[in-house]
Amino acid sequence: MRMLAMMAAVLVLSAGAQGEVWITVYRCDERTPLVPADPNHPSVYQGVMVGTKLVLVVSSDDSSFWWGSLQYSQDDKEEMFLTGRGYDAVRRSFAGSCLPAAGKLASVEFVDYEGVWSFDLTADHPSPGDWFILDYYARGVGTYNIAVYDLSIDWTTPMEVLSFVQVPSWDFNEDGIVNFVDFAMRASDAFLLDPAGEPEPGPRAYSGDAISFRDLSEFSEHWLERTTCEVPAKPDE
């Protein structure tokens, strides 16, 4: 059964007959859900700018043991990156990614399945609530997938696939937010063109020598959007 939150696409997984497990994708503030562009495809997140940090939270309304995994191709490691928090070398688990509701014996382990990288999640004696938290980084332009499995049911067929459609960034000065400064930089030929008069390469939004209606439209879609939540350094720092 699939549940859909009002402001976020929620990934629903089977967790037995008594409850459900789902994933919510948040922006870097861990409070603002990332809203899919098309409600008919709630697991496809379009327009994620390169350089953006997202947060994946696994939640449940169940109190039963659960074993699942988030998997993606090792070939995509240069374009997208999923990681846990607070690695504990003794337990070989990302202890910082295990939230209290997942139980005292919960674990988040990284596993390399012959070219497929996986974060295996175990909730042991959990309680309803948020179980796990992981960080996602958009690094390159393209579409990249994370397959989600309930390993207690099926190792070969994912319950759902999260797709992130990553686009060039409008955060030209890389201060973590798209604003008038970036618009001014976009309008500057000196910034956009190299000495030979050709566009500079790289994951930055660009569609020609002049600002077009397409530029304005795409810029407005990302207006005041944050890629990270780090506070920019002061000019003298």
- Which of 148, 167, 186 delimits the end of a domain? 167
- State whether 217 and 123 are in the same domain: no
- State whether 145 and 187 are in the same domain: no
Structurally, the chain folds into a number of domains equal to 2
Q: Is the pLDDT at 169 greater than 50, yes or no?
A: yes
The answer to the question of residue 4 being in a domain is no
- State whether 39 and 134 are in the same domain: yes
- State whether 162 and 178 are in the same domain: no
The answer to the question of residue 203 being in a domain is yes
Minimal CA–CA distance to 91: which of 105, 71, 101?
105
pTM for the model: 0.80
Q: Is the pLDDT at 75 greater than 60, yes or no?
A: yes
Minimal CA–CA distance to 119: which of 128, 110, 127?
110
Q: List the beta bridge partners of residue 44.
A: 163
Q: Which residue range is the domain that position 56 belongs to?
A: 10-167
The answer to the question of residue 75 being in a domain is yes
Q: With bands split at pLDDT 50, 70 and 90, how would you rate the model's confidence at 10?
A: very low
Percent of the chain with pLDDT over 70: 77
Q: With bands split at pLDDT 50, 70 and 90, how would you rate the model's confidence at 206?
A: low
User: What pLDDT, on a 0 to 100 scale, did the predictor assign at position 225?
Assistant: 86
User: What pLDDT, on a 0 to 100 scale, did the predictor assign at position 205?
Assistant: 59
The answer to the question of residue 2 being in a domain is no
Separation of alpha carbons 48 and 165, rounded Å:
6
- State whether 161 and 208 are in the same domain: no
User: What pLDDT, on a 0 to 100 scale, did the predictor assign at position 195?
Assistant: 43
**Mean pLDDT, range 35-47, rounded to an integer:** 92
Residues in the chain: 237
User: What pLDDT, on a 0 to 100 scale, did the predictor assign at position 213?
Assistant: 65
The answer to the question of residue 1 being in a domain is no
Range of weakest confidence among 44-53, 78-87, 95-104, 222-231: 222-231
